[in-house]
Chains A and B, each alone.
Chain A
Amino acid sequence: MIETQGLTKRYGKLEALKDLNLKIEQGKVFGFIGPNGAGKSTTMMILSTLLRPSSGKAYVGGFDVEKNPREVRQLIGYMPDFFGVYDNLKAIEYLDFYCGAYQIPERKRTALIADLLELVNLSGKADSYVDSLSRGMKQRLGLARCLVHDPKVLILDEPASGLDPRARIEMREILKELRAMGKTIIISSHILPELAELCNDIGVIEKGKLIAYGSVGDMTVGVKGISIMQLKVLDQAEAAEKILTDSPFVKRVDNKNRYFRFQFTGSDVDKAALLANLLSQGIPVVSFSEAKENLEDVFLAITEGVGS
């Protein structure tokens, strides 16, 4: 459904995107992971016909984004990372405006708008001015706006950014519903765990280069010989942290009030030695075990050393 071949975008001497090759099948959810400025938004803008690539090709539904922008626009619903709303328009009028922009006949609009507001849980806000809605509600309304012409592909750039946890969960539930409806979704985020249960495939991009690409299942830090460990101590957290940071096998120690999470690059023998060291120094260890890795660990492990 979406394919890019050697996609490159240069701004002067800066290469925002380097030779990106992607293939996303119909009905799949693809998560685009990477820090700010990595090239996610650039890719999405090219796919949304808003930016001309410097070289390479991008296709949506078989249509070239440069040669057939109109056909591509009919297929996609694009939600940018930041978008504004119009003053003095009610939610229902806002959606009506976009229905008009997609040339949807007027007789179909009332029912369609009601359905969309229902889908994004905003039925009660139909007559509210868009400006008065909370950020989470505006974001959901933006999603409803993407859907007015029933696109097959959704291109969502950081849809959950700036949302509080509750609004983020609501957004995730709506996205799950859209996935169940068979939409092909390309979604970017720098908050990684939110993508884990949503995506079929993920791509990790950094400094314009795709550095890892595959199914969520295939993306394990184990591939790189790294395991994620967790340690809980009763007290002496500072001493425990020092032992961990002094170990040559320990990386990225995350200290959350006597609960540590860290990457471990050594063997099982090295793990046992580390535990023995902690105990011999009188650290009251409550637990010491391998943790279930999450996408954040995957991302950190994969991007280790990139760009440095």
Chain B
Amino acid sequence: MRGFLTNPVIIKELRERFRTGKTAWILGSYLFVMGAILFGVIYVETANKVYFRPGESREIFILLTVIQLGMIGFIAPALTAGTISGERERQTLNVLLTTHLTPFSIVSSKMLTSLLFISLVVLSSLPLYSFVFLYGGISPVQLIKIFWFFSVNIIFFGSLGVFCSARFRRTGVSTIISYGLTFLVGVGTALITFFLWQFFEMMEWKAVDSDLFPFLFSINPGFVLAEIIGEKVVPPSLTYFMEPWILFSILYLGLSVFLLGWATRVLNPLRKKRLG
């Protein structure tokens, strides 16, 4: 903890990030949008009724959760894709690399401060969920699982952004590629799954018996989220060899470590380059 509080990059990043009015605006806008959706839905649902069913509260919860996942996919690359390329563009990176800060400490500190901000945004929306609890319809375990799932997504998409910003010199390029890869993970994996499912059906192969589909369903954030909140979007006959959220966490946390390791390697000015 002491190391965390005395890490110069973390202190600088927090100072820079939280000193500007932009941060308050981002946070305020996020909560405003989420709150407006929540109150809008409650208003529409209850406008012509005198009662409110817990099942409807569940729908609100699902809506909030889906929007929040979308927001994470939108915000995480935006906040991380410029962290290292930004230093390069500002011509501050070389100076930083001649200090005692190692490439790993630079990458990890940048990652951590970005995560702190995204986590603040997500956590600050927690009171909105209390509306759902007020009416019932969702269990605390589900909420904990959801927030764990959000954390894994934040870490992965954050690592992806940090990696792109280390790998690509320009923030513009890094941001576009981060969003492209985020889209691939969020939508691309679902499309691939759907396509392969249809292909199996066409060939009259037994898709439900294959180990491929439990894996494919477990790597798409949308399917995993649906599993956590108990929405059956996958065929009920499909059996998972591991709970999707566990497989999802292992896979994406592993990938995050790999991406951060790669970013650290890229950042080392004295690394040996492959010949040719």
Using CB atoms and an 8 Å cutoff, list the residues of chain A in contact with chain B. 45, 48-52, 66, 69-70, 73-74, 76, 78-80, 82-89, 93, 96-103, 106, 145
Contacts and interface: CB of A to CB of B under 8 A. Distances in A.
Q: Top 5 A-B pairs ranked by shortest CB distance? A: A100-B8, A84-B90, A101-B99, A84-B91, A78-B98
Contacts of A93: 12, 15
Max chain A Cβ within 10 angstroms of own Cβ: one of B6, B270, B273: B270
21 contacts: A49-B97, A50-B98, A50-B269, A52-B272, A73-B100, A80-B94, A83-B92, A83-B94, A84-B90, A84-B91, A85-B90, A86-B12, A86-B16, A89-B12, A89-B15, A89-B16, A93-B12, A100-B6, A100-B7, A101-B8, A106-B6
Nearest to A66: B270
Given A83-B91, A97-B12, A52 B269 contact: yes
Given A86-B16, A87-B16, A93-B15, 10 more contacts: A48-B94, A52-B273, A66-B270, A83-B91, A84-B92, A88-B19, A97-B8, A97-B11, A101-B101, A145-B95
Nearest to B88: A84
Contacts of B19: 88
Nearest to B90: A84
A76 B98 contact: yes
A216 B272 CA distance: 38
B48 interface: no
A49 B269 contact: yes
A106 to B, nearest CB: 7
Contact of A86 (B92, B271, B273): B92
B100 A86 contact: no
Nearest to B19: A88
Contacts, number: 78
A54 to B, nearest CB: 10
A96 B9 CA distance: 11
Contacts of B99: 73, 98, 101-102
Given A52-B270, A97-B12, A85 B92 contact: yes
B16 A50 contact: no
Interface string B80-99: 00000000001110111111
Contact of B95 (A49, A66, A83): A83
Given A52-B269, A52-B270, A88-B20, A101 B92 contact: no
Contacts of B100: 70, 73-74, 101-103
A51 B273 CA distance: 11
Nearest to B17: A88
Contacts of A82: 91
Contacts of B90: 84-86
A245 to B, nearest CB: 43
A88 B105 CA distance: 22
A165 to B, nearest CB: 25
Contacts of A98: 8, 99
A80 B98 CA distance: 11
Given A88-B20, A89-B16, A69 B11 contact: no
Nearest to A51: B269
Contacts of A78: 94-95, 98
A88 B15 contact: yes
B122 to A, nearest CB: 24
A93 B8 CA distance: 10
